[in-house]
Every structure is written in structure tokens, then in C-alpha cells.
């Protein structure tokens, strides 16, 4: 049975690289009819943020990824756990790790270290000044059993360290990278259990991967250097290590490691800006994996069918934000209007352009004017902007003028070298003609007939430009007649009037 895990540390937000790791595990599990386990690695208490577990579960759910075992959010927004290998939150498994740490000591694969913080600090300083890599000097490695017993009896604080052989090599076969060999002499005697009884990542993840019957570990390349330490633990306990695949690093376009400093990298912030989960997943699926041709748009279903660890590359994958933006725009354009409206309404409400009316799903209030509008009217606006949206949150900026009087300077009304009089006359003619149209016919085809006639006489730009500016206060917008239709006769004329008065 294929069993894979995603094992994030809840130290804040979910990094986009974490989402890729989760996605690849998910695809691998779904493709092979295996199980995906979510495990929360919260043993680093200094970096732990309690609310981040909750956020993590919510974000993964929002992205549409699911898992078979591990913590899940219940309908009451509390955290439950499902699966028979739990608990899946490491802070709830301390006893297990403590027992295995002791077992490793008994087996001679680990040892008690009683060195004080101060001694370790001095050691580190000396090593740095001598320009040798800071590392534990194995001071306690050969304490006699009597000495150890005595120290334990006198309650001297201790940690448990891995006893890394002084020489020799350890190797393993990575699914993506092939055979990899490590010199043991370069490896530190890693702390496995800290003096407060908490395990380090290394001990906890090996113990859990074994007890949770993980068959394949798929994770980022940054964990590759931990593998020899883990293998020593597996070997000592006579456990069979899972197969491993280390995914290529994610890079900025300048090939530095993708990090917070060069812009947002949290999945939460991408979702908040209005990246669609399907676009995000499609985009990150291609960060390291490729289908072997130059196709780029894939649904999750297609990805499950095509995904293979064999097609994951070794070299770093560049995180190209423009491409993500393009892909998001693509998915937005393809989206049925009802679904798109659901997403966009959230942003319009959040930015207080509209206010939901209690208990009504189809009616909203325009916040600035108090006017009640139907959802179908809002859908027309959204459909009009659909082509231009790349991030959903742009709906706010793009459509604001439908909900508030636009603010602009009179200069905006001038097309090229038009004189003030020309602009005024043109706007006045539009106003006169528009006023003659009955409300029921205030629709694009009728408006077009009139405007095209005017444009023939007065010039296209000379007619369309001032009209667009008057209605939107912007240089660029969807076609002004469609806007006029949505705004309706009264508002359209009001805005034209206001523009005339500005001149």
C-alpha cells in the first residue's frame, strides 16, 4: 500500500513550496490509489504558532486538496483527527519519541550528553574563530556507564545525541536524484531529544514515518542533508526506510532561493489577492514536474493521470510570477459567471462597495448610495470585467465606478487636441440623444446606433473618449456603451451632466 505524508511545521503561513510538496504527495497518492497522511510537526516550540494549524487546514481545504488521515477541521471549526495511526500532531506523541530515544541509547546508537549551554557556546565560538564548521566535539560520547548513571541521578540536564560513526559512508537511492552518498565523518552528532524532553525533527519524523507506515517520502530538497542521520536511526532500530524523493528547490527569477524577502510566498496571501485554487495548483504542479510536452493547462484530474515522480527534474524550478498571473487570468476567463460572481462578490463586500442584506442572497445594497441592487446586475458588471481580471481582487479597482461617483480631473475628458467647446458640445449632444431613449430601450444596440451617428459627424475618439471619461473617470475601461447600459439612463445622464459642468 502506498502511503505518503505531508508534514508541515505550523510556524506561520503555508509557504507556496509547502503547497507544492503537498500537491505532489497528493497526486502520487491519488494516482496510485494510496493514502495521504497529514502530520503536524510542531516540535519546534520556539517557532510554533498555535493558530497556524487551523490556518493550514483551512488553506489546504480551500485549495481543494484532501487527505485520508490526520487532523481535519470539523464543521464547528474545531480540530478532529481521523485515521488509525494517530495522533497525527507530534506534540501529542512525546512519550513515543522519548521511549525511542532511550531505546537508541540502549542499542548504542545514541548517547546522553550533559554538556552545559555555556560549554557548547564556548566550543562554537572557538570553532568559528578557527574557521572550522561548528559541531559538537563528542565530549560526552565516551562517558562510562557509571558516570552517566551518576549524572542522571543528580538530575543534571541532558540531551540525547545520535552517535554518528567516525568514518565510513552511507548511501541511498533517491527516486529523483539517483544514488547519493554521504561521508559520515562530516555529520554532526545530532541532538535527537532535547533537555526538555521534546524530540527534534529528525527523531520525530523518522519514528512517525515508521509507525505511520509511510512508504514514500516526497519532500523538498532542503531535507536531503538530513537523510544520512535518518538512515542511521532506521538502521539502528532495524527499520526499513521508506523510499525517498527530494523535490527541486523553488527559485526566484534571479535564481536565489524563493523567500519572503522577494514578495509574498504564502499561499494565504495568494488566495487573498484572488488567485484561484485551480490556477495555483496548475501553476505549482509545473514547478519541477513536466508532462514531457509543452502543454501547460491541466485540471487536477489530468494531473493525477499524468503525474509521475520520474518526470520530476533535479534542477531548481523558477517561480515566475508573471506566468502565474497569466494562468490565473486564463482560469478566470474560463470560469462560468455564477462561480466567478461568488468569488468577486466576496471582494466587493470586503472592500465595502456593496453590503449584503441580511438573509438575502440575491439582493445587495450599494454602500455609498444605499441603493438596493439585484445579484443579476452585479453579475453583468463582473461579466464585463471578466476579460481583464488577472487577480480577482482587481475587481474592486476595475468596477469601483459602478458603485461610487468617479473622481477625476476635467483634463481627462479631452481626447487628443480637442477644445473645451468641442468636448462640451459632444457631451451635450450625447446627453440630448440619450435623454430621448425610453428607459426600456436604454440598451447597447440602441445606444450604439445613436453614438455611431454622432461619431460619424464628430469623430470616434472625440465622442467615445469624453463619454468613457465621464462615466468611469478612467482612461481604460470596458466599452462605454456597455457601461452605460449597466449604469442605466438616469446615472449615465447624471454623470455626463456632471462632466459638462466641470468644463
Q: Which residues bind ligand GLU (CB under 6 A)?
A: 7-9, 41, 201, 205, 219, 223
In the set 125, 150, 213, 260, the catalytic residue is 260
Choose between 223 and 414: whose C-beta lies nearer to ligand GLU: 223
Shortest distance in whole angstroms from residue 312 CB to ligand GLU: 15
- Which of 50-55's residues contact partners 24+ apart within 8 Å by CB, and which partners? 50/10, 52/10, 52/11, 52/12, 52/13, 53/10, 53/79, 53/89, 54/79, 55/13, 55/14, 55/268
Which residues does residue 15 pair with via DSSP β-bridges, in sequence order? 266
Choose between 143 and 231: whose C-beta lies nearer to ligand GLU: 231
Choose between 205 and 477: whose C-beta lies nearer to ligand GLU: 205
Shortest distance in whole angstroms from residue 6 CB to ligand GLU: 8
DSSP 3-state percent helix, strand, coil across the chain (nearest 5): 50, 15, 35
Shortest distance in whole angstroms from residue 362 CB to ligand GLU: 44
* Burial of 108 from C-beta contacts in 10 A (0-12 / 13-18 / 19+): exposed
Shortest distance in whole angstroms from residue 363 CB to ligand GLU: 46
Shortest distance in whole angstroms from residue 235 CB to ligand GLU: 18
For residue 32, what are the CA distances in angstroms to 26, 246, 264, 314? Answer: 10, 19, 33, 22
Shortest distance in whole angstroms from residue 175 CB to ligand GLU: 14
Cα separation, 122 vs 128, whole angstroms: 10
Choose between 161 and 229: whose C-beta lies nearer to ligand GLU: 229
438, three cell numbers: 425610453
Q: 10 Å Cβ neighbour count for 502?
A: 16
Instruction: Show Cβ contacts of residue 292 under 8 Å, excluding neighbours closer than 6 positions.
Output: 311
Choose between 18 and 466: whose C-beta lies nearer to ligand GLU: 18
Cα separation, 290 vs 102, whole angstroms: 45
Cα separation, 395 vs 378, whole angstroms: 11
HSE-CB of 404 using CA atoms within 13 angstroms: 16
Choose between 201 and 464: whose C-beta lies nearer to ligand GLU: 201
Shortest distance in whole angstroms from residue 160 CB to ligand GLU: 20
Choose between 17 and 274: whose C-beta lies nearer to ligand GLU: 17
355, three cell numbers: 453590503
For residue 387, what are the CA distances in angstroms to 141, 241, 338? Answer: 67, 51, 15
Q: Is 153 a catalytic residue?
A: no
3-state class of 420 per DSSP? helix
Reference 23, options 288, 252, 208; nearest CA is: 288
Active site residues per annotation? 260
Amino acid at each position: 500500500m502506498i502511503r505518503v505524508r505531508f508534514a508541515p511545521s505550523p510556524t506561520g503561513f503555508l509557504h507556496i513550496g509547502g503547497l507544492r510538496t503537498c500537491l505532489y504527495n497528493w497526486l502520487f497518492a491519488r494516482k496510485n490509489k494510496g493514502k495521504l497522511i497529514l502530520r503536524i510537526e510542531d516540535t519546534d516550540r520556539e517557532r510554533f504558532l498555535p493558530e497556524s494549524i487551523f490556518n493550514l487546514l483551512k488553506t489546504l481545504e480551500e485549495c481543494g486538496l484532501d487527505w485520508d488521515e490526520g487532523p481535519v477541521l470539523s464543521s464547528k471549526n474545531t480540530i478532529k483527527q481521523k485515521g488509525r495511526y494517530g495522533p497525527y500532531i507530534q506534540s501529542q506523541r512525546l512519550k513515543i519519541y522519548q521511549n525511542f530515544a532511550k531505546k537508541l541509547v540502549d542499542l548504542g546508537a545514541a548517547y546522553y550528553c550533559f554538556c552545559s549551554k555555556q560549554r557548547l557556546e564556548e566550543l562554537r565560538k572557538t570553532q568559528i574563530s578557527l574557521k572550522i564548521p561548528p559541531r559538537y566535539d563528542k565530549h560526552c560520547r565516551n562517558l562510562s556507564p557509571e558516570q552517566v548513571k551518576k549524572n542522571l541521578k543528580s538530575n543534571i540536564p541532558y540531551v540525547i545525541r545520535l552517535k554518528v560513526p567516525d568514518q565510513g559512508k552511507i548511501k541511498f537511492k533517491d527516486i529523483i536524484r539517483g544514488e547519493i552518498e554521504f561521508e559520515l565523518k562530516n555529520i554532526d552528532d545530532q541532538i535527537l531529544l532535547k533537555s526538555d524532553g521534546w524530540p527534534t525533527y529528525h527523531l520525530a519524523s523518522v519514528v512517525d514515518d515508521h509507525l505511520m507506515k509511510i512508504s514514500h517520502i516526497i519532500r523538498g530538497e532542503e531535507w536531503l542533508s538530513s537523510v544520512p542521520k535518518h538512515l542511521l536511526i532506521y538502521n539502528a532500530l532495524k527499520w526499513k526506510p521508506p523510499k525517498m524523493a527530494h523535490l527541486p528547490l523553488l527559485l526566484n527569477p534571479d535564481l536565489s532561493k524563493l523567500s519572503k524577502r522577494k514578495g509574498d510566498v504564502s499561499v494565504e496571501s495568494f488566495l487573498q489577492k484572488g488567485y484561484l485554487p485551480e490556477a495555483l495548483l496548475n501553476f505549482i504542479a509545473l514547478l519541477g514536474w513536466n508532462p514531457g510536452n509543452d502543454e501547460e493547462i491541466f485540471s487536477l484530474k489530468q494531473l493525477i493521470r499524468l503525474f509521475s515522480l520520474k518526470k520530476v527534474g533535479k534542477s531548481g524550478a523558477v517561480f515566475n510570477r508573471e506566468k502565474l498571473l497569466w494562468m490565473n487570468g486564463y482560469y478566470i476567463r474560463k470560469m462560468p459567471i455564477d462561480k466567478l460572481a461568488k468569488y468577486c462578490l466576496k471582494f466587493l463586500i470586503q472592500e465595502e462597495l456593496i453590503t449584503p442584506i441580511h438573509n438575502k442572497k440575491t439582493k445587495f445594497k450599494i454602500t455609498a448610495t444605499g441603493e438596493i441592487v439585484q445579484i443579476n446586475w452585479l453579475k453583468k458588471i463582473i461579466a464585463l470585467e471578466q476579460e481583464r481580471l488577472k487577480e480577482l481582487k482587481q475587481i474592486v479597482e476595475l468596477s469601483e465606478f459602478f458603485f461610487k461617483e468617479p473622481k477625476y480631473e476635467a483634463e481627462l475628458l479631452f481626447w487628443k487636441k480637442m477644445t473645451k467647446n468641442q468636448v462640451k458640445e459632444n457631451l451635450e449632444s450625447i446627453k440630448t440623444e440619450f435623454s430621448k431613449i425610453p428607459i426600456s430601450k436604454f440598451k447597447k444596440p440602441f445606444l450604439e446606433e445613436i453614438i455611431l451617428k454622432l461619431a460619424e459627424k464628430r469623430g470616434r475618439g472625440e465622442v467615445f473618449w469624453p463619454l468613457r471619461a465621464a462615466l468611469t473617470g478612467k482612461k481604460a475601461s470596458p466599452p462605454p456603451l456597455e457601461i452605460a447600459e449597466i449604469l442605466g439612463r438616469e446615472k449615465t445622464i447624471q454623470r455626463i451632466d456632471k462632466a459638462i459642468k466641470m468644463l
